[in-house]
Amino acid sequence: MHDSFKDLLKISAESSDDFFRRLVEEMPGGFFIYRADGKEEVLRINKAALRIFGCENMEEFKRLTGGTFRGMVHPDDLERVENSISYQIANSVNNLDYVEYRIRQADGSTRWVTDYGRFAHLENVGDIYYVFISDDTERMKKRMSDLETINSELVKISARESQYRKAILYDAIFFFEIDLTRDRFITAITHTEDVHTFDMFDSVNTGEETKFSDFIDFSAKGQIDPDEYIRFFDRERLIRFCEEGQLEQSYECQASDNLGRRRLLQYVALLGKSADGKVSALIMAKDITSQDEKQKLLQMSLRQAQAANIAKTTFLSNMSHDVKTPLNAILGFADLIKLHIDDSAAIEEYTDKIKISGKQLLNILNEALEVTRMESGKAMLAETECHLIDLLAEVEKAVIPEMNAKSIRFNVDKSQITHFSVYMDVLRMKEMLCQLLDNAAKYNRNSGKVHLTVGEEVHSCGYGKYTFIVEDNGCGISDEFMERIFEPFSRESNTTKSGVPGSGLGLAVVKNLVDLMGGKITAESKVGEGSRFTVTLVLKILEKNIPAGREITLEGKRLLLAEDNAINCEIAEALLTEEGFTVETVGDGDQAVEAVRKAEAGYFDFVLMDIQMPRMNGYEATMAIRALKDRERANVPIIALSANTYAEDQKMSVQSGMDAHVSKPLDMTKLKETIKTVLERRSVQS
């Protein structure tokens, strides 16, 4: 048909229409030719093709289709058909294509046609397609009907597979399908886990002839709430929900498994309606006991978080007042100093009060930072050798001013201690005891009593169990507040109401410190009678006490001060000079190293080393000094000066080679004690 037919087409194109009509007009099948260009104009079409479109002549055909191939194809099929033709021609050796598509007839009806075409090029006409077309509507209808039947079955299979998948993914302990319309089981009950745990339905016959309603009536007898169980599985109720589009229903109930455990089960009914109107359901049961317990735990955690949030909001409100009070005092007394600059007595009084307010402000800040660090898990212990007599003496010295201010009778009972030398984090321990004693004094009346009792119970393997008990006869604590006494930001009364300054963090700090040291703290109290706090710690006992060195005098000692902040350096130099020290200053760590290296051996009695400096920090400078070749210069005593007072900071100071760690702002009394301790220890070691 190929070359010979092309010749005929060429003759047809060059000859009259009579030749074409004689050749193809009476063909039983449809035939047409159209241009392979943008317009796709139909050049020739026979009677059989016109009849397929329901047209009597070419004029009707042009009115219906516009006289183009694009107008012949149903608009919904056009893109698919043209893409298919282009693809087939591009990949065909003989330029052949086959497509199926719909057309619209003159009366508006739709028919299916099959299209066998071939692409050709004629010199006088150009690129064309010549096409044989036939009406294939009846065959396509049958094929579509067969496909719909197959598809319907596939949909049913897919739906059932989807439901089974849901049951498995749902972690169902058992599931089954029912025909609600016929009141019959579609499948028997299927267990997905150990049948010995939940075999409550094993004795029930669940074949295809078993009525679902009879099964529910029977199984309801073993339910804790049979009426609610029957109500949920009522057939008419489930069918009604399906008709309303509520396709998923759930119900929770208590049940006992074969081990006698009370479990929480959740039943879920997935409803569906088939094409013939029958309503079916997939019933699944899931053990949600652990899920329910987790939910309750989450709800409890949420309530605790909400309570903590309320506490923090209250804390911020109180904190605003408690911070502003000492700050206002500092600013106010500073103004008074300016007004009474020539009155030395007044200035001394105002500066003392500024110092007290500054300490209050510093204490609030330290407590807030301490709690934040502990809750973030960044706090660490720095345990060293300690003599409890020295520790308790330092604690007593720290709290006695406040005790005396309120005429409180304070005593420390050490009679129950057998081993005084232990291994502990001295600063943490001192902070904890001072905080408890500070609270006992603050919330006590004038002329009240506060006792600190330390006891020891020896354990084996070189460890002892120590108790630290702080008792007072103050205002006491209510039972309600005792439940949250160690929570951060909690106060029974704010500063305005109680008249006692504080952030509500003190006892939270104490609790975190005790936890950090692996101990335990308990609290007992009665309103109007006082409180008792007991801290229990297990401490390593040392075999020998720490030796004391010879008495050291500080008068005339020469020190090197390394401090990069000009104001801090000026203040520290003035205070140290007032105490009788000879002070030389440098502004960075590398300058400190160079000053020690250039000075004669023994020229500096000790170095005060700031930690944070721009070019070389205090740790690096200390290690550089310790690495000097001259051992006398390398061994000069070095004391850290830092605003960072946490245990890990002190540990880093020791690890870098420093002898001690002193916090900023400078407390000259503590600084002198530290210097004396370092120099005395050095005298013992030498």
Q: What is the DSSP string of 192-227?
A: SS-TTTS-TTTTS--STTSBHHHHHHHHGGGSSSHH
Confidence of residue 192 (pLDDT cuts 50, 70, 90): low
Q: Are 147 and 245 within 8 A, CB to CB?
A: no
Confidence of residue 346 (pLDDT cuts 50, 70, 90): confident
| Architecture (CATH level 2) of domain 149-287 | 2-Layer Sandwich (3.30)
The CATH superfamily label for domain 558-685 reads Response regulator (3.40.50.2300)
Q: What is the CATH number of domain 379-541?
A: 3.30.565.10
Range name among 265-274, 489-498, 572-581, 641-650 with the lowest pLDDT average = 489-498
- Percentages helix, strand, coil for the chain, rounded to the nearest 5? 45, 25, 30
Q: What is the pLDDT of residue 497?
A: 45
Whole-angstrom CA distances from 240 to 120, 233, 247, 262, 490 are: 64, 12, 10, 33, 55
Amino acid residing at 225: D
With CA atoms as reference, report the closest residue to 315 among 272, 371, 232: 371
The answer to whether the peptide bond before residue 226 is cis (omega within 30 degrees of 0) is no
Q: Give me 656's structure tokens.
A: 């870098």
Confidence of residue 503 (pLDDT cuts 50, 70, 90): very low
Residue pLDDT, tens place only, 570-582: 988 998 898 889 9
Beta-carbon contacts of residue 192 (< 8 Å; ≥ 6 apart): 167, 168, 171, 172, 173, 174, 175
Q: What is the pLDDT of residue 177?
A: 83
Assess whether pLDDT exceeds 80 at residue 322. Answer: no
Is there a shared CATH topology between the 2-135 domain and the 379-541 domain? no
Assess whether pLDDT exceeds 80 at residue 411. Answer: yes
Q: Give me 85's structure tokens.
A: 């033709």
Q: Give me 359's structure tokens.
A: 């300490």
Residue pLDDT, tens place only, 430-479: 888 988 998 888 888 888 899 999 998 756 456 788 999 999 998 888 88
Q: What is the pLDDT of residue 37?
A: 83
- Express as a percent the part of the chain with pLDDT over 70: 75
Residue 171 DSSP SS3: coil
Planar angle of CA 576, 578, 584, nearest 5 degrees: 40
**Average pLDDT value for residue range 35-49:** 89
Q: What is the pLDDT of residue 315?
A: 55
Confidence of residue 682 (pLDDT cuts 50, 70, 90): confident
Planar angle of CA 532, 537, 538, nearest 5 degrees: 155
**Average pLDDT value for residue range 117-130:** 88
Q: For 563-654, list the strands marked E by DSSP.
A: 582-586, 606-610, 638-642
Confidence of residue 496 (pLDDT cuts 50, 70, 90): very low
Q: Are 102 and 76 within 8 A, CB to CB?
A: yes
With CA atoms as reference, report the closest residue to 545 among 417, 436, 403: 417
Assess whether pLDDT exceeds 90 at residue 623. Answer: yes
Q: What is the DSSP letter of 666?
A: P
Beta-carbon contacts of residue 166 (< 8 Å; ≥ 6 apart): 270, 282, 284
Q: Domain extents for the chain? A: 2-135, 149-287, 379-541, 558-685
- In the predicted model, what is the mean pLDDT of the chain? 79
End-to-end C-alpha distance for the chain, whole angstroms = 120
Q: Are 406 and 448 within 8 A, CB to CB?
A: yes
Of 21-35, 437-451, 638-652, the range with the highest mean pLDDT is 437-451
**Average pLDDT value for residue range 544-560:** 67
22: Cα separation from own chain's centroid: 85
Range name among 93-102, 264-273, 565-574 with the lowest pLDDT average = 264-273
Range name among 25-29, 104-108, 228-232 with the lowest pLDDT average = 25-29
Task: Give CA–CA dist 58/55, Å, rounded.
Answer: 8
Element (H, E) at 265: strand 262-273
Backbone angles phi, psi at 2, to 5 degrees: -75, -75
Q: What is the DSSP letter of 527?
A: T
Q: Are 166 and 269 within 8 A, CB to CB?
A: no
Q: Are 267 and 251 within 8 A, CB to CB?
A: yes
Q: What is the pLDDT of residue 483?
A: 76
Assess whether pLDDT exceeds 90 at residue 66. Answer: yes
**Average pLDDT value for residue range 102-117:** 92
Residue 301 DSSP SS3: helix
Planar angle of CA 79, 84, 89, nearest 5 degrees: 130
Q: What is the pLDDT of residue 469?
A: 94
The label of the residue with tokens 């317990």 reads 293
Element (H, E) at 163: helix 137-169
375: Cα separation from own chain's centroid: 16
**Average pLDDT value for residue range 123-148:** 85
Assess whether pLDDT exceeds 60 at residue 218. Answer: yes
Q: What is the pLDDT of residue 546?
A: 47
Whole-angstrom CA distances from 633 to 409, 482, 587, 618, 636 are: 50, 57, 20, 17, 6
Task: Give CA–CA dist 156/167, Å, rounded.
Answer: 17
Task: Give CA–CA dist 266/385, Å, rounded.
Answer: 61
**Average pLDDT value for residue range 283-288:** 80
Planar angle of CA 604, 654, 358, nearest 5 degrees: 80
Assess whether pLDDT exceeds 80 at residue 53. Answer: yes
Element (H, E) at 662: strand 660-663
Starting at the edge strand found earlier in the chain, the sheet holding 126-135 runs 42-45, 30-35, 126-135, 110-122, 96-104
**Average pLDDT value for residue range 571-597:** 92
Q: What is the DSSP letter of 23?
A: I
Confidence of residue 516 (pLDDT cuts 50, 70, 90): confident
**Helix 618-626, helix 647-656: angle, nearest 10:** 30
Sign of the alpha-carbon torsion through 168, 171, 172, 173: positive
Length of the chain as a residue count: 686
**Average pLDDT value for residue range 348-361:** 79
Planar angle of CA 680, 681, 683, nearest 5 degrees: 65
**Average pLDDT value for residue range 632-645:** 86
pLDDT higher at 493 or 422: 422
Q: Are 385 and 423 within 8 A, CB to CB?
A: yes
Pick the CATH number of 2-135 from 3.60.15.10, 3.40.190.10, 3.30.450.20, 1.20.1070.10: 3.30.450.20
Whole-angstrom CA distances from 159 to 189, 250, 311 are: 18, 20, 53
Task: Give CA–CA dist 653/618, Å, rounded.
Answer: 8
